[in-house]
């Protein structure tokens, strides 16, 4: 783990424990003096690959502090997955239904 990852973990675990203490990614990026996109990428990696209990929502990021918060965070992820799946289905169907026949050359 690098120094920035450790700073992020310490910040979330120490000051943003529980949903009521969530911090918006823009504020966290300013606090840690890091690019917003890089911060989001690092946090995604910490959750996905390091298996850290960090939740994300419209309120921001927070360290999950209870079973109830875990269920809420998990439910929000599942809801996002369902919405993205429906969006993907619409995109696929829209693509399949398009008429991609080449225009006929007109003879003069």
What global pTM score does this model have? Answer: 0.80
Nearest to 29 by CA among 43, 15, 47, 46: 43
Q: Which of 57, 30, 54, 59 is nearest to 42 (CA)?
A: 54
pLDDT score, position 101: 52
Average pLDDT of the chain to the nearest whole number:
92
**Helix (H/G/I), strand (E/B), else coil: 100:** coil
- Any idea where the domains of the chain sit in the sequence? 3-95
Note whether 84 and 47 are within 8 A (CB).
no
Proportion of the chain above pLDDT 70, given as a percent: 91
Topology, domain 3-95 = Arc Repressor Mutant, subunit A (1.10.10)
């Amino acid at each position: 783990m690098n120094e920035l990852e450790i700073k992020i973990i310490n910040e979330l675990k120490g000051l943003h424990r529980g949903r009521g203490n969530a911090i918006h990614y823009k504020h966290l990026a300013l606090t840690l003096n890091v690019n917003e996109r890089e911060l989001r990428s690092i946090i995604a990696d910490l959750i996905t690959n390091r298996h850290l209990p960090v939740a994300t929502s419209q309120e921001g990021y927070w360290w999950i502090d209870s079973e109830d918060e875990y269920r809420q965070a998990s439910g929000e992820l599942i809801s996002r997955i369902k919405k993205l799946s429906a969006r993907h289905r619409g995109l696929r169907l829209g693509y399949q239904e398009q008429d991609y026949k080449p225009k006929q050359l007109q003879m003069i």
